[in-house]
Amino acid sequence: MPAGPREVRVKRKPVAIIAVLVLVGALGFVVSQSFPGTFKLPHLGPECTVRADGEVTLYSVQMANAATISAIGLRRKMPERAIVVALATALQESKLENLDTGDRDSVGLFQQRPSQGWGTPEEIQDPRYSADKFYAALKKVKGWKEMRVTDAAQKVQRSAYPNAYEKWADESAVLAKALAGRATGAVECTVTGEPALRGAAASAALSEGLKLDWGVDTSPDADLKVTVKDPNTGWRYAHWLVSHAKGTGLERVRFADREWDATNGKWQPVTGDRRVGDDTVVAEVFH
């Protein structure tokens, strides 16, 4: 299981720096830390940065899974606290990676076991199915909203390490706030190399993902447009799109007076014809 983030004091020796970098790479989950002497760990590999009353960085696959877990919870009308519990559970169980193996017959993001009635291995390895099953089980836990994150998660998971989920509570709160749309331009992902998909194939992949995660129908045109009722909802979709950029061929997202671009991975202010209203999220794919 991954270790929780903690303050690390780096000695000014090359060996110590190398050891820290190896550790960060092994964890696959990075929380940016500043150290004495202005030294800061570099971001390793393709990744996303989430800033919402804290900062968390994830690899693109982890970010996409986090966004799907959040979307399924919001679509179920679960409170944000439920998303925090779900994300903390997935971080502890799988590092937000859709594993095809685990302890005994455990598989998937939440390491759910077919032998314990969670579903078939194929079903459990569908992130949407496994997230939905997790929320359904959490909803049945009496008083879960008042519990610590680790206690609520343990009621569902029945882990041999009941206190392990708590170390992910703060990181999960940052992710949940951003993915619930309660922060502006909070998810930034950089996409390097050749796009995974282009043109019609990329548009179709985004349309399918929006349908599966959100139940939203969009026309797979060159520019996908999602109508939203308020800025909060708009940022939910905008952050979800950016989270899934690497696997879909997404090049740009525009919402209100901001635009995200895959090349630099940042949200930037836009004016004039590039600006869209607060009622529409626009996604553009690579051609």
Q: Is the pTM of this model over 0.75?
A: yes
Q: How far is CA 78 from CA 2, 37, 75, 168, 232, in A?
A: 27, 44, 8, 19, 16
CA dihedral (90, 96, 100, 103) positive or negative: negative
- Per-residue pLDDT, 17: 35
Q: Residue 14 — pLDDT band, cuts 50, 70, 90? A: very low
The phi and psi torsions of 49 (rounded to 5 degrees) equal: -115, 130
Q: How far is CA 160 from CA 102, 155, 164, 198, in A?
A: 14, 12, 9, 45
Across 128-133, average pLDDT: 98
Q: Residue 94 — pLDDT band, cuts 50, 70, 90? A: very high
Across 238-250, average pLDDT: 97
